[in-house]
Structure 1
Amino acid sequence: MITVVGLGDDGWDGLGADARDAIAGAATLVGGARHLGLIPPDATRANRRAWPSPMTPLLDELPGLDRPVVLASGDPMLHGVGATLARRVGARRLRVIPRPSAFALACARLGWPAADTELVSLVGRPTELLLPALAPGRRLVVYVSDRDGAREVAALLREHGFGPSALVVLEHLGGAGERIVQTTADALPDAPVAQLHTVALECRVAPGTRVLPRTPGLPDDAYDHDGQITKREARALTLAALGPLPGELLWDVGAGSGSIAVEWMRAHPANRAIAIEPRADRAARVARNATTLGVPGLRVVEGRAPDALAGLDPPDAIFVGGGLTTPGVLDACLTGLQPGGRLVATAVTLETEQVLTAAHAAHGGHLVRLSVARAEPIGGFTGWRPQMPLTQWTLERPRA
């Protein structure tokens, strides 16, 4: 059994009897240097071990240690090591003794209902992950890694038109050195910030700022592209057919600008995607679009399907936007699709449409022709300019 004890900034003094007894009875005490320093020398005879970098070797060793106790911050199951251990060893081999999280304390100090406040963790992660959560009036609590965290968040907000947002820096929550500084992203003072701090935001936008939603169908000009992009209207319908659910993985085969993979990941923070693109310039563009639109975790595989699909994690959904006429591509996608998975493929040429027509005859599913016209100037008047018709084939594999 591995015991995980959550610590507040008040350290040993804030622990209850059960947490103190667990630490006193430990044979091995594991934690970060700051956490270990919060436990008095006479509180336990345990062998103290600080986390190495990377943590993996000690994480693997923990189940075999005698009476191990792991120290963590606040609630270990909220973006903490407790959640990591639960995935690795299972809940039955874990005992967790939590303390109030920085999220709970921040909401309490500010009087924000926790159910209406979103938590975003940027600890060890790119700041751009905050972007999909930004919306006028939205309240956010943001975990940051170090003393530059508040400044990095403020810089991102200013860059994307959210400079007027109320920004609160909460230092050493729950400890003797607790301090709260209320300002805006535009006016954040260039004064030192404590290493241990949390950021709270109430989002406000500058005039003229274009706010991008999480729903599919972002404007085409939100992307850097060379024309190889699934257009806005078709993209919204494609994402609807793919049906992203939280935590699912998408293969975007022949990704082009990566718009389908990007909007799949924007649909939910837990969603994952792999973009497969044979051209190096387009693969680089996919990565840039992913970062710009707040999903820097999108994995880009530079290679040509079907060979580039070998060894990839099995997907919950597959979009094939390019390469349908390459022998073996559609067969490899159908083979990789899991029970309950969805496959969507689109065609704009007669040759690729023939591939989809044959696939529909062989496997069933739904075949749809999409036609869109946009109003554009014609001399001094306005007329409808048709876009190229799009044929879409959708197949859903029954759940086991």
Structure 2
Amino acid sequence: MTLAPPEQPLPPAVTVVGIGADGWAGLPDAARTELIDAQVLIGGERQLGLLPASCRGQRVPWPSPLRPAVPGLLAAHAGSRVAVLASGDPMFYGIGRALTEVLGTDALRILPHPSSVSYACARIGWPVEDTEVVTLVGRPAARLAAALHHGRRVLVLSADARTPAAVAGLLREQGFGPSRLRVLEQLGGADEACLEGTADHWPHPPGDPLNVIAVECRRTPEALRLGAVPGLPDTAYEHDGQLTKRHVRAATLGVLAPAPGELLWDIGGGSGSIAIEWMRTHPSCRAITVERDPRRAQRITHNADRLGVPALRVVTGPAPGNLARLPTPDAVFIGGGLTVPGLLDTCWDALPPGGRLVANTVTLESEALLAEAHREHGGELVRLAVAHAVPVGGFTGWRQAMPVTQWSVRKPLTGPEAEHSAHEPAQHPGDNR
């Protein structure tokens, strides 16, 4: 009996070639061969213009907006040998991600070029692993605010020639005017240049749109210091009194336990502090805050911009009526509206197995609801009390803030996850594993 030969894997449908400002001269032989042999060449106008006449394939510029056009454009050239041009490393804030989502990894061959971050760090002597990177390509400049800490080094990927001035303005507004800025243009190309100054005194007009900004963060002595963990000063927020205060906020974020990529529903947003500090824990954390008062909703958006998380989604309107169409959360925080009929049940039902719910209240009526929920679902019911030292005549005494009752609970797991969890070894006090 003759065995059939093993099936050979299909060749990749698309090759993605990273190209730098040095153009054709900076490409290795393997990349050049792919571009010469391609029947269809897809890329930006600038990238396509870097190719010589020996690349005879049909040149197709990306339309705008790019991301929604990817599936249709690839489908239109199915069966052809396609090469896609990308700036630098296609998998570093590049088109590689979108192509992988559409085609899958097996249908792609990716030939990366050094990224602009690698070039920039090489030019100014910064270790890549110690350098934070913030992209403003297609994103608001306010994202940078969350990365600003005294003494840190940050590389900003610019959207265009106006980005350096916008970054300098944001740094001044955030109290980081003394920060040193270096704008590195056309990295790796024949026209490479470096412009330098401080955010307080940025003297340069818009230059080359292909640039990266190196920021050495320096905070003014009077600027408000914002740490990297939950519990920012109350003065970091604009509010009308509807604010989860600093110490309770830190305790609340501790039990909400945000993890990278997770989504929070913040019900009764107030000033947005819980959702904002959830998102500040990691750049991939997401949050939706629901606030019925339009003025407060507007204030939440303003606070989110100032504190570096402009992607916070604010839904203006009452809960639970506005919850039905929201994506499934990993965690829910209820900071207001507990006595609204159906709110607590709606939030509980929306959680997937393993999801967390935390609710805070200062009223007896809402406390009774939390006590009943605790009896039904378990979890932990605690009372948080904070007192501040204040002058009492010529002495000092304690002024007690209203105590906060907090219920926190994890929705039970089901199926194989529950069985696995049941067999996990218990963690004993003092066990630091």
Identify whether the pair has TM-score above 0.5, normalized to the shorter chain: yes
Following the alignment from structure 1 to structure 2, what is the Cα–Cα distance between the partners of residues 217 and 240?
A: 10
For 1:227 and 1:158, locate their aligned partners in 2 and report how far apart those are by CA, in whole Å: 28
List gaps (5 residues or longer) in structure 2.
1-12, 418-433
Q: Which stretch shows the higher mean deviation, 11-20 or 59-68?
A: 59-68
Cα displacement string for residues 350-381 of structure 1 (whole angstroms, at most 9, x for unaligned residues) = 00001100000000011111111111223333
Q: Does 2:57 match 1:46?
A: yes
What secondary structure is seen at the aligned counterpart in 2 of 1:307?
A: coil
Contact in 2 for aligned 1:29/1:69 (Cα 8 Å) = yes
Alignment of 1:139 with 2:153, yes or no, is yes
8 Å contact kept, 1:242–1:317: yes
SS of residue matched to 2:290: strand
Q: Is the 8 A contact 2:39 2:81 kept in 1?
A: yes
What are the Cα deviations for residues 93-148 of structure 1, in whole angstroms up to 9, with x where unaligned? 22211100000100011111111001110111111100111111101111011111
- Higher mean alpha-carbon deviation, 114-123 vs 53-62, is at 53-62
**Correspondence for 2:247:** 233
Residue pair 1:168, 1:183 contacting (<8 A) in 2 also: yes
Residues of 2 paired with 1:337 and 1:320: CA distance?
Answer: 13
| 1:88 Cα offset (Å) | 3.1
State the TM-score, normalizing by the size of structure 2.
0.90
2-structure distance, mates of 1:362, 1:45: 70
Comparing 5-14 with 45-54, greater Cα deviation is found at 45-54
Q: CA deviation at 1:62?
A: 4.0
1:114 partnered with 2:128: yes
Q: Which TM-score applies when normalising by structure 1? A: 0.97
User: Is the Cα–Cα contact under 8 Å of residues 387 and 399 in structure 2 kept in the other structure?
Assistant: yes
User: Which AA in structure 2 matches 1:250?
Assistant: L
Give the equivalent residue in structure 1 for 2:30. 18
Please identify, of 236-245 and 60-69, the stretch whose mean Cα deviation from structure 2 is larger. Answer: 60-69
Paired residue secondary structure (1:43): coil
Q: Percent identity?
A: 55
Structure 1 residues not aligned, in runs of 5+: none
- Contact kept in structure 2, 1:258 and 1:289, CA below 8 Å: yes
User: In structure 2, which of residues 176, 179, 185 is the aligned counterpart of residue 165 of structure 1?
Assistant: 179
Count of aligned positions: 399
Deviation of 1:190 after TM superposition, in Å, equals 2.8
CA pair 315-57 structure 1, distance change in 2 beyond 3 A: closer
Query: Is contact 2:165–2:206 with CA below 8 Å preserved after alignment?
Result: no
The answer to whether the 8 A contact 2:41-2:57 is kept is: yes
SS in 2 for 1:330: helix
Check 1:214–1:88 CA distance in 2 against 1; reply closer, same or farther (3 A cut): farther
CA–CA distance in 2 between the matches of 1:44 and 1:146? 28
Query: 1:182 aligned to 2:193?
Result: no
Q: How far apart, CA to CA, are the structure 2 residues paired with 1:57 and 1:239?
A: 36
Q: Residues of 1 paired with 2:197 and 2:299: CA distance?
A: 36
Contact residue 242 and residue 271 of structure 2 kept, 8 A = yes
**1:59 alignment partner, one of 54, 65, 70:** 70
Cα drift, residue 46 of structure 1: 1.6
Q: Quote the residue 1:29 is aligned against.
A: 41
- In structure 2, the residue matched to 1:97 is 111
1:238: how far off? 0.4
Corresponding residue for residue 149 of structure 1: 163
Supply the distance in 1 between the matched residues of 2:39 and 2:346 (Cα, whole angstroms). 52
CA contact (8 A) 2:184 2:211 kept: yes
Match of 2:423 in 1: none
Cα shift readout 1:207-263 (whole Å, capped 9, x = no counterpart): 222221121011112111111111111100000000010111100011111110000
For 1:191-220, what per-residue CA distance to the aligned partner results, in whole angstroms no more than 9, with x for missing partners?
A: 442121110011111222222112101111
